[in-house]
Amino acid sequence: MASVAFPSISKITRLPNGTTYSYVFVEPKGNKPYILFLHGFPSSSFDWRHQIPFFSNAGYGVIVPDLLGYGGTDKPEVLEAYRLKSMSDDMASLLDHLQVKEVFGVGHDWYGINKANTNPVLAYSLYVRGSFLLSRLANYHPDRFIAYVFLDIGYWAPYADFDVDAINAQAERQFGYSIFGYWHFFNAPDSAQIMVDNFERSMGLCYPADPEALLQHLCPLGAARKYYEMQSSEAVAPWFSPAEQATYRQIFSAKNGGFAGGLNWYKAQMGRVNAADERALPSERYHIDKPTLMVVCTKDPVAIPAIQTEGMKPYVKQLEVESLDCGHWVQLVKVNEVNEILKGFFDRHRGDGVTVKL
């Protein structure tokens, strides 16, 4: 939540379609371009607390929204509002409002699926929400981007035939365990209430000290609900300081809507609100022809590095890959490494005299 975590640099804007977005905004120094950071679940602009000061101090402009359903941004109950196309259009509209012509796009988190038809061995490639939305921005608004960065989970090509049960069955055959078992819990009508009523347990589930806990409590069918019925819970990762946890609790408090808005992304995807839009995208829009960086995480049991990179290769012409020895929350765990990798990528590809304003 931008206004809670970054009060001095936060803004609130009502877009022409009536949707209100909360976001962090810092103008660049000199002719350096802007960076658009997109978070995942269960997160907000607060996910980028280590990147915002680093890149603004390096002279880059920074735009970090609370995405739809999160933080200080609107949290509609109607699932149709969470269509990827409409949220992509929102991001383009926000850039228009800020008079920003083009940006570097950085996305992290939220699992989607892409069928990699070009490789029968890798029948399915796993992808994600910040990354999920950045993928569609690359399809719908490629002219607004200088280059792309996907953290932990990569580019997701359009895929209309989303079926979570088929995905889990395929994963069982391919990897020996399901990967989206938790989607059924997240789709349940009581999930948001359970998560906010058991806040400490929810933090242990989503930010566990042991990344392997995801295999036990998230991936198997029915495991997420059983987790909330256990006597004990997973410890929160030590890198999540008490002060940061306090800020997180304020952002996701029941008073601010809890987890309901973020869970609507899952409910919308399972409700196939994106299917018609996905089918309507012409195949030539599937491909990315701008520099793209993929940062894989060797200890994420869901986002398997080889699957990420192989799934991107058919669609991304200029793919660069970096690997870090950590779990899912790479920008929070490997702060210095991520910042230096991203800065090197941005410095190489920003060009001279780039026009950052419309």
Q: What is the DSSP string of 75-120?
A: --S-GGGG-HHHHHHHHHHHHHHHTB--EEEEEE--EEEEE-TT-S
**Helix, strand and coil in the chain, % to nearest 5:** 45, 20, 40
**Tens-place pLDDT, residues 49-88:** 999 999 999 999 999 999 999 999 999 999 999 999 999 9
Which residues partner with 320 through β-bridges? 293
Who wins on pLDDT, 69 or 119?
69
80 close to 148: Cβ distance less than 8 angstroms? no
**Tens-place pLDDT, residues 128-159:** 445 889 999 999 999 999 999 999 988 988 88
Angstrom CA distances, 226 to 140, 167, 188, 202, 284, stand at: 40, 21, 14, 12, 44
Strand order through the sheet with 145-151: 10-14, 20-26, 61-65, 34-38, 103-108, 145-151, 292-297, 319-324
231 pLDDT more than 50: yes
